[in-house]
């Protein structure tokens, strides 16, 4: 997909259907579920091209097809210039390294310093250990320390690519704001896992580190993008498809995937 001068492409690492109660505090409308009542969850990230920069936003859970997906887009790991980790849960850092060597040897890796402190320095245990390899964020990220640049809060990454603090799901959770001319898109990381979470304020994702802050962040973003045409993607939307949050004009919201 092109956004003016930018290119945004999904990079799939795998998918699964999971019981709703392992993700959310309530059951969404059937439109968001499989016929069996499960929640479809994608793993992966997005590739963003800005000029000569080849930016990978999140690296999936490390057990799937992310590298093959990149190859299908004509991108080799050595060609990635930047790896932006929206936060440090295991399913977003899985291909950051193989445990001993960096997967993207030419890239600068970036994450918010608050997530680095929480997950790597302090090694908090909530939802941090890879369920397959049993690797912690520290295990996964130590091989890339020499390529790492930490940031705190809002910052510019590349022309048309800005990073914005979105705390709650994790302390340093980050949203990527993409813009070219009057065109605008946002990659939300795990601020939401299903578009239904932007419809009202009473949702909670069960892995949120700070649920009240996460709820405030979700609602602020929903109010910002509601009805203004901003394209939105998130790391677990089915197929990593992007869409728009719509306004009925009567205080209700709806969602439409981009066709």
Indicate the pLDDT class of residue 123, thresholds 50, 70 and 90: confident
Per-residue confidence (pLDDT) for residue 180, from 0 to 100: 95
Give me the residues paired with residue 183 across strands: 180
Per-residue confidence (pLDDT) for residue 50, from 0 to 100: 96
Query: Token match 């603090």: residue?
Result: 165
Q: How many whole angstroms separate alpha carbon 149 and alpha carbon 81?
A: 13
Q: How many whole angstroms separate alpha carbon 88 and alpha carbon 95?
A: 12
Task: Yes or no: say if 57 and 40 are a contact pair by the CB < 8 Å rule.
Answer: no
Per-residue confidence (pLDDT) for residue 14, from 0 to 100: 96
% of the chain at pLDDT higher than 90: 87
Query: Token match 């930018």: residue?
Result: 6
Structure confidence by residue, pLDDT tens digits, 205-220: 989 999 999 999 999 9
Per-residue confidence (pLDDT) for residue 131, from 0 to 100: 60
Per-residue confidence (pLDDT) for residue 252, from 0 to 100: 86
Structure confidence by residue, pLDDT tens digits, 129-142: 566 667 889 999 99
Indicate the pLDDT class of residue 185, thresholds 50, 70 and 90: very high
Q: How many whole angstroms separate alpha carbon 70 and alpha carbon 112?
A: 25
**How many Cα atoms within 13 Å fall on the side-chain side of residue 197?**
27
139, two tokens: 């295990």
Per-residue confidence (pLDDT) for residue 35, from 0 to 100: 96
Check whether 127 has a pLDDT greater than 60.
no
Helices (H) and strands (E) in the chain, counts: 5, 14
Just give the CATH number of 2-257: 3.60.15.10
Per-residue confidence (pLDDT) for residue 124, from 0 to 100: 82
Question: Whole-prediction pTM value?
Answer: 0.96
Q: Please give the distance of CA 82 from its chain centroid, rounded to a whole number.
A: 15
Nearest to 91 by CA among 122, 129, 124, 121: 129
Indicate the pLDDT class of residue 193, thresholds 50, 70 and 90: very high
Q: How many whole angstroms separate alpha carbon 38 and alpha carbon 23?
A: 11
Structure confidence by residue, pLDDT tens digits, 28-72: 999 999 999 999 999 999 999 999 999 999 999 998 999 999 999
List the domain boundaries for the chain: 2-257
């Amino acid at each position: 997909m092109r956004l003016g001068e930018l290119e945004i492409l999904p990079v799939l690492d795998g998918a699964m259907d999971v019981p709703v109660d392992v993700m959310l505090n309530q059951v969404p409308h059937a439109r968001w579920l499989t016929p069996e009542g499960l929640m479809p969850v994608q793993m992966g990230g997005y590739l963003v091209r800005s000029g000569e920069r080849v930016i990978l936003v999140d690296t999936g859970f490390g057990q799937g097809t992310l590298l093959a997906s990149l190859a299908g887009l004509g991108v080799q790991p050595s060609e990635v210039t930047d790896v932006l980790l929206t936060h440090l849960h295991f399913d977003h850092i899985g291909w950051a390294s193989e445990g001993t060597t960096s997967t993207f040897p030419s890239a600068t890796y970036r994450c918010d310093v608050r997530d680095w402190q929480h997950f790597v320095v302090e090694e908090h245990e909530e939802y941090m250990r890879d369920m397959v390899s049993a690797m912690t964020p520290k295990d996964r990220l130590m091989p890339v320390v020499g390529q790492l640049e930490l940031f705190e809060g809002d910052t510019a990454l590349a022309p048309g690519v800005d990073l914005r603090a979105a705390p709650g799901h994790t302390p340093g959770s980050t949203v990527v704001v993409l813009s070219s001319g009057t065109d605008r898109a946002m990659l939300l990381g795990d601020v939401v896992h299903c578009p239904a979470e932007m419809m009202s304020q009473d949702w909670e994702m069960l892995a949120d580190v700070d649920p009240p802050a996460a709820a405030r962040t979700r609602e602020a973003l929903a109010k910002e993008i509601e009805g203004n045409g901003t394209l939105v993607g998130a790391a677990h939307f089915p197929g990593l498809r992007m869409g728009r949050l719509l306004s009925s004009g009567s205080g209700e919201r709806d969602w439409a995937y981009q066709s």
